[in-house]
Amino acid sequence: MIPRYTLPAMGALWTDQARFEALLRVEIAVLRVLADQGAVPTDAVEAIASRGRVDVARIAELERTTDHDVIAFVSQVAETVGPEGRWLHYGLTSSDVVDTGLALQCRAAGELLLAELDATITSLAAAARTHADTRMMGRTHSVHAEPITFGLKLASWAFELDRGRRRLRSATDDLATGKISGPVGTYSQLGPDVEQAALASLGLHADPVSTQIVQRDRHAAFLAAIAVTGGSLERFATEVRNLQHTEIAELQEPFRTGQKGSSAMPHKRNPITAERISGLARLLRGYALAGMEDQALWHERDISHSSVERVALPGATILLHYMLVRFRSLVEGLVVRGDRMAENIERGLGLHASSRLLTALVETGGLSREDAYAIVQRAALRAADERRSLRELVDADPDVARALSGERVAEAFDDAIPLRHVETILARLDTLGIRETETVDAR
């Protein structure tokens, strides 16, 4: 992934140095189990653990001859150890080390993403409570529908990210799976007991039935969970972009002192962070598809998945991490124009009360739904076409006057009534913390 979108904490997990150090951790974990069983000399294992070092440049130099990075890695580390280095890779095949090392990297990346999701959900929940009473127009098909509050919108985002958090946690845990089962998964050299003990020391699950590899449905699910979470961020970012339209102007991205929006137009304050998030979500969907393409390998394995994963797994985790960090910054610095939200409600001419007026005519006025709908629609379409208040036209409509009292009409136009359950809905944010604790405990 290009440096522009790589933040240090996640980027550090995917360097060549980090990859080969993960492989060395696996090698040493297996050797310690074998030493406990008396299969390899304990002093040799301690020499490897204390003197073994990864030299990425030397590995690359050796790989130019071997054309095999794992062999180059084993040879390079052995060089740093001395004679005891001959015990490196004892009884192992390359994928034992590569897939198990990859599980360590993916678990670390998943945990970093989950931590950032926790922080983002916390920020969204706090903002939702702050704007619990900030009224705005709800829109369907991009047309005014009925009033909501901005707090409700933010709460929806928090719960959606919570679902993403649960999916990603499950996928991360599933992918924290290694194998030390040999060339085709039959334990032809090292027994299942070695695998179980070595993987337990690394905090990994053992694949119950592996081939030469851990099967790629786990990796596909991980990439899919990342892509779905990215899709959620894109939904939120798209809403920010829409509400920052000049004609709506209800939200505005943070805009720093000295920041510029356009090389030609000094007035521009563009939603560039939201647009960037929307664009990067497209890449995440592509990585998810690539992960699914990797599932169908030939026989007990081929190597077609390897090149894909070297790009897709670092790329997807790096991008989602970047997107979460930037989105949280956007939320925490978001300019919320409550005055503009109120103005836009007024510009709607009261048309959003049509459904409550319809219900009143049926419930109190005793009209059939068809007759009531015709009366309200007639007035509403005229109000929209003539840019007049719906209330004004309704008050002058003899059909409405025969059916409803002035008090009942006023009630239909009272926006506090449809928003009376907002507090109940937002109280559900409290369950986000409870669910998080219960999920962790269940693990």
Please identify every residue annotated as catalytic. Answer: 141, 262
335 SS3 class? strand
How far, in Å, CA of 35 to CA of 197, rounded? 12
Whether residue 277 contacts residue 327, with contact meaning beta carbons closer than 8 Å, is answered with: yes
SS3 readout for 63-108: HHHHCCHHHHHHHHHHHHHCHHHHHCCCCCCHHHHHHHHHHHHHHH
How far, in Å, CA of 438 to CA of 432, rounded? 10
How far, in Å, CA of 413 to CA of 376, rounded? 13
- Nearest CA to 251 among 353, 127, 140? 127
How far, in Å, CA of 207 to CA of 212, rounded? 11
How far, in Å, CA of 326 to CA of 323, rounded? 5
174 SS3 class? helix
Q: What angle do CA 408, 410, 414 make, to 5 degrees?
A: 115
| Beta bridge pairs of residue 140 | 143
